[in-house]
Structure formats: structure tokens, C-alpha cells
């Protein structure tokens, strides 16, 4: 069964609605939402008919596209999924779609190598590998870093659409340190990936501070159509993260000249894979190298340094050197306590 682009947009929009457990969806609500999305993405002003949405729901419920979506009607009025974990995005891809995607990958590969497409090389390779595995039995021939247990990846597309269309959000978020979740009204500005983990950068309505929220800690969110969206005029997000490792940063944080010694064993690793794009080689001798990076001092920087253990030493600034020294002493203290416990036994 051939599925056109507009139909896929409608199915995906209905799926997004039914997965939103914050709200009850009538057929009229779904019609309005689909019409809004079609206007935003395709500029279609004619809306969508009741008959079309009803037909879409029937197709999603059926096996025609392999969805078999568990769509139910509650109280004879509200549409929902009986399985809160269900999404059509989890459904297997049919052969016709595989062939179409092969054509698309073929076109992308023709552009691969051009400067504008340099950052797409790994994506093209990933797509080609996944398509090959779909049609051939056997092992992977290329492996990418991936964490299948990581939560929140399903939020990427709807959050991207909210940023693109400047939609205010109500986010239910639970940080690692919090005992309970909290509801935050925020204005989303950016999605950022760091070490295979995704973060939403936005400004909170009440606190007027820039928030960095891990997608795997977002429980649920919904768009607030009546909440005015506030643009962030004072920050250039293309360069906001240029002076740090990771994603943790306050707007007033200053860049520091961090000077590090790296022993000979790890020097080639650090030289071929710089800690930061600002890295400069200051000195090289028989013991190792001295490098400088210009970054904000944050948790990720400390973790990066501690990851090298005894092979790296902070030379400056003094405050960072003291922090790392104290953390290493605390780590050593934990082993000393363990040694005393073993002696008592």
C-alpha cells in the first residue's frame, strides 16, 4: 500500500496526540491538531476533513501498514492508546518503504564528500547499515555508539518541532537529585547531544534562567498554545557552547585558561583527539606534554580530567587544581576505609 507524505504527517500527528497522556483527545481535537500541523509543515490552509481522520484512525488500527495501533475510545468520546508505551514509530518498516529509503540513501551518498554534507557522513553510513540489516541476515559491518536503554529519545522530534515553530511547553521534569518531579513552563531554544545523551536548552518562565534538561529525565510535556513564546535575543546558540566541555553552563560563567600536564603514555591520545577545539600545545619533553584549553570550569571538565587518573595533572588555575586534588583524596579515602573494613573482618 503506497503512503504519501501528507498521510504520514497525519498518522504521526495523531500518534503524537494519543501518546500525550496529559490531555483527552476528541475527534474534533485531532482534526484541529492535524490541520495545524499540515499548515505549519506544508502551508495547507484547507484543513482536513472528519472523514479523512476517521479513515486514518482505521488504517492505523489495521495491519495495512503494520501498525495495529491499539486505539480505543473512552467514554464514547475520547481517543487514546490502550497501551501507554505504544507508538507507530516502533512499528516495523515494510518492504516498499525500505526500497524508497534505499533510493534516498543512494541520492545522499552522491553528495557525501561535499563540504556542506561532511557532518552527514556518519548518518548516511548508519542509514545504509540499518537498511542492509533489514534486507539481509547477518552481522553488523559498522557499529555506532548507542545506548538502547537510554530513555527520552522519542521526545527529539516533537521537541524539535516545538523549537522550530516557537511553541511554549509545559514540561514534567525529574532531575536526579529531586525527590519528586516538577512542572515547568518553558520556552525551548535548542536540542543538544553530548556523548550520546540529549538535552533540551530553554528558558523557564518563572525563574528567568536558562535550563538544561536531559531528555531521559523528561517524563512528559505538552505544547501550550495560549502561552506566549518568548524569543531569546541575547544569546547566540550557535556559539553558546563553544567555551565548554559538555552542556553544563550558567550564562555568567567566564572562560578560564586551563593548563594541563599529560604524561608520555597518554600524550599521543590527547594530541590526536583534543579535549577541546581550543587546545594548544605549550610544551613537550621526555616526560610528557603541557596543553592549554580555554573553557568554562564545570562538572564535565572535572570528569574528563579525573578520567585520565594519574596520567593527567592540573597546573592552572589554582581553584581547579585544588578541586581535582580534593576529589582524588576523597577517592583515595574511600579505598582506605574499605581497607580498614577488610582488616576488621
Q: What confidence score (pLDDT) does residue 20 get?
A: 87
Give me the chain's average pLDDT, please: 86
Q: Which CATH class is domain 256-335?
A: alpha beta
**pLDDT tens by residue, 274-293:** 999 999 999 999 999 999 99
More confident residue, 28 or 335: 28
Q: What confidence score (pLDDT) does residue 138 get?
A: 64
Q: What are phi and psi of 262, to 5 degrees?
A: -125, 130
Q: What confidence score (pLDDT) does residue 206 get?
A: 81
* pTM of structure: 0.66
**pLDDT tens by residue, 231-285:** 988 889 999 999 999 999 888 899 999 999 999 999 999 999 999 999 999 999 9
Range name among 49-63, 141-155, 189-203, 224-238 with the lowest pLDDT average: 141-155
**Domain 153-223 identical in fold to domain 256-335:** no
Q: What confidence score (pLDDT) does residue 118 get?
A: 64
Query: 153-223 in CATH: which number?
Result: 2.30.30
Q: Can you read off the three cell numbers belonging to residue 226? A: 495560549
**pLDDT tens by residue, 65-76:** 878 899 999 999
Q: What confidence score (pLDDT) does residue 173 get?
A: 93
Q: What confidence score (pLDDT) does residue 339 get?
A: 64
pLDDT bin (cut points 50, 70, 90) of residue 45 is confident
Residue 40 scores a pLDDT above 90: no
Residue 54 scores a pLDDT above 70: yes
Q: What confidence score (pLDDT) does residue 208 get?
A: 74
Q: What confidence score (pLDDT) does residue 137 get?
A: 63
Q: What confidence score (pLDDT) does residue 1 get?
A: 40
Residue 2 scores a pLDDT above 60: no
Q: Which CATH class is domain 5-90?
A: mainly alpha
Range name among 95-99, 213-217, 271-275 with the lowest pLDDT average: 95-99
When pLDDT is averaged across residues 143-152 and rounded to a whole number, the result is: 69
Kindly list the domain boundaries of the chain, sorted by start residue: 5-90, 95-135, 153-223, 256-335
Amino acid at each position: 500500500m503506497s503512503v504519501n507524505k501528507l498521510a504520514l504527517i497525519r498518522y504521526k500527528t495523531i500518534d503524537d496526540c494519543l501518546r500525550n497522556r496529559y490531555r483527552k483527545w476528541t475527534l474534533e481535537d485531532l482534526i484541529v491538531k492535524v490541520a495545524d500541523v499540515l499548515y505549519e509543515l506544508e502551508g495547507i490552509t484547507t484543513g482536513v476533513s472528519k472523514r479523512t481522520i476517521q479513515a486514518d484512525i482505521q488504517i492505523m488500527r489495521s495491519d495495512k501498514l503494520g501498525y495495529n495501533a491499539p486505539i480505543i475510545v473512552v467514554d464514547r468520546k475520547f481517543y487514546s492508546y490502550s497501551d501507554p508505551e505504544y507508538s507507530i514509530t516502533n512499528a516495523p518498516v515494510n518492504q516498499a518503504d525500505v526500497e524508497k529509503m534505499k533510493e534516498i540513501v543512494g541520492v545522499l551518498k552522491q553528495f557525501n564528500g561535499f563540504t556542506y554534507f561532511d557532518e552527514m557522513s556518519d548518518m548516511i553510513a548508519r542509514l545504509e547499515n540499518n537498511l542492509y540489516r533489514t534486507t539481509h541476515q547477518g552481522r553488523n559491518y559498522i557499529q555506532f555508539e548507542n545506548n538502547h536503554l537510554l530513555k527520552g529519545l522519542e521526545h527529539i522530534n516533537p521537541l524539535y518541532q516545538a523549537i522550530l515553530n516557537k511553541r511554549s511547553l509545559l514540561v514534567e521534569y525529574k532531575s536526579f537529585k529531586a525527590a519528586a518531579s516538577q512542572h515547568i513552563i518553558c520556552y525551548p531554544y535548542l536540542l543538544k547531544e553530548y556523548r550520546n545523551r540529549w538535552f533540551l536548552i530553554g528558558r523557564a518562565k518563572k525563574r528567568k534562567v536558562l535550563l538544561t534538561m536531559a531528555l531521559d529525565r523528561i517524563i512528559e510535556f505538552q505544547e501550550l498554545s495560549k502561552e506566549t513564546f518568548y524569543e531569546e535575543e541575547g544569546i547566540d546558540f550557535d556559539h553558546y557552547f563553544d567555551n565548554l566541555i559538555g552542556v553544563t553552563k550558567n550564562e555568567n560563567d567566564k572562560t578560564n585558561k586551563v593548563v594541563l600536564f599529560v604524561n608520555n603514555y597518554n600524550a599521543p591520545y590527547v594530541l590526536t583527539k583534543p579535549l577541546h577545539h581550543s587546545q594548544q600545545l605549550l610544551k613537550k619533553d621526555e616526560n610528557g606534554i603541557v596543553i592549554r584549553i580555554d573553557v568554562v570550569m564545570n562538572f564535565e571538565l572535572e570528569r574528563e580530567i579525573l578520567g585520565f587518573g594519574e596520567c593527567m595533572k592540573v597546573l592552572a588555575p589554582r581553584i581547579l587544581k585544588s578541586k581535582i586534588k580534593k576529589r582524588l583524596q576523597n577517592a583515595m579515602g574511600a579505598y582506605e576505609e574499605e581497607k580498614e573494613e577488610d582488616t576488621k573482618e
